Amino acid sequence: MRPLATAIGLAALSAPASADGLDLTPAQRAAFGAEIRGLLLEEPEIVARALRGPDPYAEEIRSDLDLIAAHADRLFTSDILLGRTGPVAFAVFVPPDSRLRDKLEDYATARELRIALHDPAADAALMQALALDTIPSYVFPTLMVRGDVPPIVLDRYQE
């Protein structure tokens, strides 16, 4: 938190200098600086966001979300739905005869949700379209995960 406080202080000190192009009187410049300082103290995320810079994974995340949206109708429907009731929470690519299927069935039933199970052999084209190359792979409405995921993490992905 200390670097953020320092950054806010530095930004507040530099505000009057950056107001030079606004043709302000010294009193207006001081008022402008006070307003900027107040805003930065009230909204420290502005400085934190600027210091962090762009998300290095933003393009990949956007690409994944676009892929999920483009294939949502196929992803979240399936001939094999695990669980008894509730909405489809996510899709999983796993062979129908695997032990993981039984664990996911118990998971879905306990949480009153459904899981769309896709056979990787039968849905190889869908896996390829999503650039999924690992079994199991999970697809949530806002996230794709390659590899096995413990139940507690599945819960977090749905929050």
Q: Given a cut of 60, is residue 58 above it in pLDDT?
A: yes
Closest CA to 143 of 131, 127, 158: 158
Model confidence, pTM: 0.68
Question: Residue 1: what pLDDT?
Answer: 46
Domains and CATH numbers, the chain: 2-52 (no CATH), 58-157 (3.40.30.10)
pLDDT digits over 74-111, tens only?
A: 999 989 999 988 889 999 999 988 999 999 999 999 99
* DSSP element (H, E) containing 113: none
In sequence order, what are the residues at sequence separation of 6 or more whose Cβ sits closer than 8 angstroms to the Cβ of residue 154? Answer: 90, 107, 138
Residue 68 has pLDDT above 50, yes or no: yes
Phi, psi of 44 (to 5 degrees): -65, -20
